[in-house]
C-alpha cells in the first residue's frame, strides 16, 4: 500500500471510509431533524458509488461504535508520504483512530501520532503550504508540532494558521482548495487575507449555503467535485468546474458533510 498527498485536488486513487452504522443527529436538533437512517444509507451508497466510478479504491474502517466514526477525515491527514494520526478532542471520538492505526501498522506506513490536539478536518495542503484551522478541535500548539515533524522529515512546508467561526466545527466546512491557484472561502474565516494571499483566484461561498456545508466538497480529481449544495454547485460550474450535486441531508443533520466522510490516502 502506498500513501501520498500534497494537495486537495489531485486524482483520488485511495481513500479511507467508515460505514454509518451508528449515525445520530447532532444534539439539540428538533424532532423533525432526526436522522432518516434508511435515507442516510442510500446517500452514503451514492457517495461510495461516485468514488468507485471515478476510479477510487475504498478502504473501510472497522466499526468501533462511535456515532461520528463515519467522519473519517477527522481521524488523520497525510502530507506527502507521512501519515499524521489525530489526537481527537472529544473523548467519545478517541477510539475512532484505532482502525487507521491498524491500517498503518499492517502496511508499515510512515506515521506520526499527534501529541497536541488536532483533527484532520482542520488540515489542508497546497503546494508547499499546510493550512491549519484554529477552532476548538485543533489547538494552537498543533501547528508548531506539525511544522517541527515535517522539518524533521525534510519536508520544509510553510504553516499558515487559519482562524474561523467555531460553530462550523472544522476548517473544511469554511474553506477549501479547488486547484493550485483557486480556493473557495466563506465569511466564517476570520483572517481571510492569510488564505487568499496564496491563491490567484478566490471564490466566495454565499452565507446561505453554509448550512448545506457547501465548502465541504470531495475533489475526485480531473476537475470533478462532489458538493452538497445545489446553488454552490451552479456557482462552481459557472467558474468552469465539473461540480456534481449529491444530496447529503441526513449527514448534515449530524454536523458532517461529504468531505468529512472521505480521508484521502493517495492522490496523484
Question: Would you write out the chain's pLDDT as a tens digit for each of its 268 residues?
Answer: 999 999 999 999 999 999 998 888 776 555 557 899 999 999 999 999 999 999 999 999 998 888 899 999 999 999 999 999 999 999 999 999 999 999 999 999 999 999 999 999 999 999 899 999 999 999 999 999 999 999 999 999 999 999 999 999 999 999 999 999 999 999 999 999 999 999 999 999 999 999 999 999 999 999 999 999 999 999 999 999 999 999 999 999 999 999 999 999 999 9
Decide if 7 is inside a domain.
no
Decide if 196 is inside a domain.
yes
Decide if 36 is inside a domain.
yes
Decide if 234 is inside a domain.
yes
Kindly give the pairing relationship between strand 224-227 and strand 242-245. Answer: parallel
**For the chain, what is the domain count?**
1
Decide if 6 is inside a domain.
no
The C-alpha atoms of residue 229 and residue 215 are separated, in whole angstroms, by: 9
CATH number, domain of 142, equals 3.75.10.10
pTM: 0.95
Instruction: Give the range of the structural domain holding residue 200, as residue numbers without chain letter.
Output: 12-267
Amino acid at each position: 500500500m502506498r500513501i501520498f498527498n500534497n494537495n486537495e485536488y489531485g486524482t483520488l486513487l485511495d481513500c479511507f471510509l467508515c460505514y454509518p452504522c451508528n449515525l445520530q443527529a447532532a444534539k439539540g436538533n428538533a424532532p423533525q431533524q432526526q436522522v432518516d437512517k434508511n435515507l442516510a444509507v442510500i446517500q452514503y451508497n451514492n457517495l461510495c458509488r461516485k468514488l468507485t466510478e471515478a476510479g477510487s479504491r475504498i478502504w473501510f474502517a472497522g466499526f468501533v461504535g462511535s456515532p461520528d466514526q463515519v467522519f473519517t477525515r477527522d481521524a488523520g491527514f497525510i502530507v506527502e508520504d507521512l501519515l499524521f494520526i489525530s489526537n481527537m478532542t472529544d473523548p467519545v471520538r478517541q477510539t475512532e483512530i484505532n482502525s487507521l492505526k491498524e491500517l498503518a501498522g499492517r502496511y508499515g506506513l510512515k506515521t506520526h501520532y499527534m501529541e497536541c490536539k488536532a483533527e484532520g478536518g482542520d488540515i489542508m495542503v497546497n503546494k508547499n503550504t499546510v493550512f491549519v484551522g484554529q477552532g476548538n478541535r485543533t489547538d494552537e500548539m498543533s501547528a508548531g508540532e506539525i511544522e517541527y515533524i515535517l522539518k524533521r522529515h525534510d519536508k520544509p512546508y510553510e504553516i499558515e494558521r487559519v482562524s474561523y467561526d467555531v460553530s462550523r466545527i472544522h476548517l473544511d466546512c469554511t474553506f477549501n482548495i479547488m486547484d493550485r491557484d483557486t480556493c473557495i472561502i466563506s465569511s466564517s474565516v476570520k483572517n481571510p487575507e492569510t488564505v487568499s494571499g496564496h491563491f490567484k483566484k478566490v471564490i466566495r461561498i454565499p452565507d446561505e449555503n453554509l448550512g448545506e456545508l457547501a465548502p465541504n466538497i470531495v475533489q475526485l480529481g480531473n476537475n470533478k467535485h462532489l458538493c452538497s449544495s445545489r446553488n454552490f454547485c451552479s456557482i462552481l460550474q459557472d467558474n468552469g468546474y465539473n461540480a456534481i450535486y449529491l444530496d447529503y441531508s441526513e449527514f448534515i443533520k449530524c454536523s458532517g458533510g461529504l468531505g468529512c466522510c472521505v480521508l484521502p490516502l493517495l492522490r496523484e
